[in-house]
């Protein structure tokens, strides 16, 4: 396989923020009187902020007004942003920085394909934004994951075909998006993905770029 580019999901692949999203959603669920644990959170990984709140309401069989819905979205984001105030390079997941440096040395392009509307802010806090030819996030797409738009846009911006491009994902919705888009789908750090991916890695340290590029 000859790979020309890499697309990284953000939360849970590049950085540890997936846990912060969980804690913030748990807080929202508590406000709504809906029970919510880490297993429930698996269904939220990778999907947009709006779709996440819809899922929590479904879990609790609740309906709320549009106004309250939007208020909860704002509060969840405030809670989340507050919890990542001190985010820095120590919060990068194992192997990330080494892989980005190696890809750069080998002349491979890298992109971020994230559902988060906070992606650019987070990447700049982590001081890794300069490694990416393209950043496509929740602000740039009409159809969130599991739709492949976010990755297709990333590939287009890098000028590569999906089949020449690896997508690294930790979420079921992201893997579905990568496969639908015709990308090479690598599941990272979430063993529940093993049966649904082209390749599985416990973390990015285990990824050998030389094997694929």
- If binding is defined by CB under 6 A, does position 118 make contact with ligand BG6? yes
Which of 5, 7, 15, 21 lies at the binding interface for ligand BG6 (CB under 6 A)? 21
- Phi first, then psi: give them for residue 104, nearest 5 degrees: -65, -45
With CB under 5 to 8 Å by kind, the binding choice for 149 among ligand BG6, Mg ion, none is: none
- If binding is defined by CB under 6 A, does position 117 make contact with ligand BG6? yes
Name which of 91 and 213 has its Cβ closer to Mg ion: 91
11 is catalytic: yes
> What's the chain's Rg over C-alpha atoms?
17
**How many whole angstroms separate alpha carbon 196 and alpha carbon 79?**
33
140 is catalytic: no
**How many whole angstroms separate alpha carbon 127 and alpha carbon 131?**
9
Name which of 19 and 101 has its Cβ closer to Mg ion: 19
Give Dmax over CA atoms of the chain in angstroms: 53
8: nearest Cα among 191, 210, 207: 207
Name which of 16 and 60 has its Cβ closer to Mg ion: 16
Site residues for ligand BG6, 27-66, by CB under 6 A, read 44-46, 48-49, 52
- If binding is defined by CB under 6 A, does position 20 make contact with ligand BG6? no
Q: Residue 11 carries which DSSP code?
A: B
Neighbours of 39 (CB within 10 A): 7
Q: Which residues have a catalytic role annotated?
A: 9, 11
Q: List residues binding ligand BG6 (CB under 6 A).
A: 10-11, 18, 21, 44-46, 48-49, 52, 77, 114-118, 138, 171
């Amino acid at each position: 396989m000859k790979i020309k580019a890499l697309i990284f999901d953000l939360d849970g692949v590049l950085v540890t923020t997936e846990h912060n999203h969980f804690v913030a959603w748990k807080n929202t669920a508590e406000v709504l009187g809906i029970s919510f644990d880490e297993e429930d959170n698996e269904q939220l990984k990778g999907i947009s902020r709006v779709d996440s709140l819809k899922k929590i309401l479904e879990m609790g069989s609740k309906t709320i007004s549009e106004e309250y819905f939007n208020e909860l979205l704002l509060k969840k984001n405030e809670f989340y942003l507050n919890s990542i105030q001190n985010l820095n390079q120590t919060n990068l997941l194992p192997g990330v920085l080494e892989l980005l440096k190696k890809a750069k040395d080998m002349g491979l392009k890298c992109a971020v394909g994230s559902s988060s509307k906070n992606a650019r802010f987070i990447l700049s806090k982590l001081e890794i934004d300069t490694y990416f030819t393209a950043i496509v996030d929740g602000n740039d797409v009409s159809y969130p994951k599991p739709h492949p738009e976010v990755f297709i846009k990333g590939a287009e911006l890098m000028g590569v075909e999906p089949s020449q491009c690896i997508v690294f994902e930790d979420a079921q919705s992201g893997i579905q998006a990568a496969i639908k888009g015709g990308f090479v789908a690598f599941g990272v750090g979430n063993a529940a993905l093993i049966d649904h991916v082209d390749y599985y890695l416990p973390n990015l340290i285990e990824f050998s770029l030389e094997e694929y590029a």
